[in-house]
């Protein structure tokens, strides 16, 4: 991917990894559009970076996804990069009374929304690149976040298919695979001991400049290259045996 001179939509671009991408893509000379559910959080970013364009939308709602696409097609038909970054992570047990309802929201946000957006945005004639944000947990589940881990395994697999399928449309598909990073994902405090987003952004921009389409860092680099035995060991480290 040529990392300058693009018009880029970053879902969830106002916080965490999305904000890191927004800031770096601006620095590199791109126009950035961000979306998310919380207007006040989007406004903090557009106040700080007046060139950023924002749109409130709840990607778990089909009508909002369609409205977002129509708005971009009408107002930013030169958009050429879609970054499917927005996601949620819920730590829960299958025995929780609200397990199924929460699982449905997580699957809708992390899976249905990006596959729907991708199917819409490839209709833009200008589209050259799709960047999907998966996870180190795509390769090995964290059982405390059982549905989240499953959504990321799905999204990883889907991204591999997209890389193959969209070649004939001349659309490059990049998989960005973060390890645990210090963001508010899953709620404040859960990821406090993880590395900062800035180190990850530095690493993945270097890899994009080198033309890589699988962008990894630390734990996710290990998981993307792991043998079956490595994956078993990683599973055991992430999910210590519970003593009854
Ligand atoms: N941090 C990590 O350890 C880690 C590791 C691997 C992968 N990832 C992935 O990286 C991506 C970004 O996560 P993050 O760590 O940066 O966490 P984050 O700061 O919580 O970012 C998630 C973003 O998604 C937006 N979002 C969530 N649900 C949405 C919805 N229904 N509609 C529109 N926007 C929505 C949020 O904005 P609103 O709440 O305002 O809607 C927020 O800006 C996620 O896909 C996550 O799975 C993170």
Q: Is 148 a catalytic residue?
A: yes
The answer to whether residue 120 sits within a structural domain is yes
Its pTM stands at 0.98
The answer to whether residue 143 sits within a structural domain is yes
- Residue 115 to residue 81: CA distance in whole angstroms: 15
Number of domains in the chain: 1
CATH of the domain at 145: 3.40.50.720
- In terms of C-beta distances under 8 Å and separation of at least 24 residues, what long-range contacts does 62-68 make, across chains too? 62/116, 65/113, 65/116, 65/117, 65/120, 66/120, 68/35, 68/117
According to DSSP, the residues that pair with 133 across neighbouring strands are 176
pLDDT by residue for the chain (244 residues), tens only, comes to 999 999 999 999 999 999 999 999 999 999 999 999 999 999 999 999 999 999 999 999 999 999 999 999 999 999 999 999 999 999 999 999 999 999 999 999 999 999 999 999 999 999 999 999 999 999 999 999 999 999 999 999 999 999 999 999 999 999 999 999 999 999 999 999 999 999 999 999 999 999 999 999 999 999 999 999 999 999 999 999 877 7
Is the CB of residue 58 below 6 angstroms from any atom belonging to ligand 1?
yes
Is the CB of residue 183 below 6 angstroms from any atom belonging to ligand 1?
yes
Is the CB of residue 16 below 6 angstroms from any atom belonging to ligand 1?
yes
Candidates 9, 14, 15, 195: which one to mutate for ligand 1, based on the most atoms within 8 Å of Cβ? 15
∠ CA 172-175-179 to the nearest 5 degrees? 160
Q: Domain range holding 20?
A: 7-238
């Amino acid at each position: 991917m040529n990392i300058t001179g693009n018009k880029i939509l970053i879902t969830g671009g106002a916080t965490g990894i999305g904000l890191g991408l927004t800031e770096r893509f601006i620095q590199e000379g791109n126009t950035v559009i961000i979306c998310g559910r919380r207007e006040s959080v989007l406004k903090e970013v557009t106040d700080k970076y007046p060139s950023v364009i924002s749109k409130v939308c709840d990607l778990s709602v089909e009508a909002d996804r369609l409205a977002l696409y129509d708005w971009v097609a009408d107002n930013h038909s030169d958009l050429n990069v879609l970054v499917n970054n927005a996601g949620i992570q819920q730590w829960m047990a299958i025995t929780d009374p609200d397990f199924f309802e929460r699982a449905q929201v997580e699957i809708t946000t992390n899976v249905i929304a990006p596959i729907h957006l991708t199917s819409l945005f490839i209709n833009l004639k200008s589209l050259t690149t799709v960047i999907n944000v998966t996870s180190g947990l795509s390769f090995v589940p964290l059982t405390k976040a059982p549905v989240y881990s499953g959504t990321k395994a799905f999204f990883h697999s889907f991204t591999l298919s997209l890389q193959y399928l969209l070649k004939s449309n001349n659309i490059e598909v990049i998989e960005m695979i973060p390890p645990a990073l210090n963001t508010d994902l899953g709620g404040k405090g859960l990821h406090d001991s993880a590395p900062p987003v800035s180190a990850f952004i530095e690493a993945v921009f270097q890899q994009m400049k080198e033309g890589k389409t699988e962008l990894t860092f630390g734990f996710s680099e290990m998981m993307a290259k792991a043998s079956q035995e490595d994956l078993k060991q990683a599973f055991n480290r992430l999910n210590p045996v519970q003593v009854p």
